[in-house]
Amino acid sequence: MPIVLARVDDRLIHGQVVIGWGRSLGLERIILVDDDVAGNDWEKDLYRMGVPDGMAVSFALTRGAPASALPEWQGSRLRSAILTGNLATMARLHDAAPRSSLQRINLRRLLSTSPVAPNWLPYGYLNHSGPALICQCFAPELRPRLSL
């Protein structure tokens, strides 16, 4: 089954993803693409504890593996969500397969670490590379689906 959710959320796995999106979309697997977590067994264990029985969690590094694994993830029978903690990682995944199920990317309120970052949207701030990365992920005919 194709990936049913591609989400950028700096909180990674948490209640909104597991309960809100997980139940409504019938998720069977969450694929977390993050270098810090994928390289730390203790953090992986923490994130595994946050998902209910019957929902698998996979961890991937941001470079190399996700691009080659994307067709496998899409071809799996498991209803899956891909989570990244930032736009740059999701943009790399999108570039690996621009006509994949990553055409619709769900964005959490994206906050810049800079207090002077422009307020691009009334409910969130993007750093200066944010708009370019969003444009990179979406063909002109596609509209991003924004959610808090």
Tell me the β-bridge partners of 107: 8, 146
Instruction: Compute φ and ψ for 52, nearest 5 degrees.
Output: -75, 160
Tell me the pLDDT tens digit for each residue of 56-74: 999 998 876 666 788 888 8
Q: Which residue has the tokens 């959710």?
A: 5
Tell me the pLDDT tens digit for each residue of 95-138: 776 566 666 777 775 554 444 444 445 444 455 555 556 655 55
Q: What angle, rounded to 10 degrees, do the helices at 65-75 and 87-96 form?
A: 70
- What one-letter code names the amino acid at 110? L
Catalytic residue, chosen from 14, 63, 109, 145, is: 14
- What one-letter code names the amino acid at 55? M
In degrees, rounded to 5, the angle at the alpha carbon of residue 145 between the alpha carbons of residues 24 and 94 is 100
The span from the CA of 20 to the CA of 15, in Å, is 7
Fold topology of 3-107: Fructose Permease (3.40.35)
Task: Calculate what percentage of the chain has a pLDDT beyond 90.
Answer: 24
Q: Mark out the alpha helices in the chain (DSSP H runs).
A: 15, 22-25, 35-38, 41-49, 65-75, 87-96, 130-137
**What are the boundaries of each domain within the chain?**
3-107
- DSSP tag of 124: B
pLDDT of residue 141: 42
14 catalytic? Reply is yes
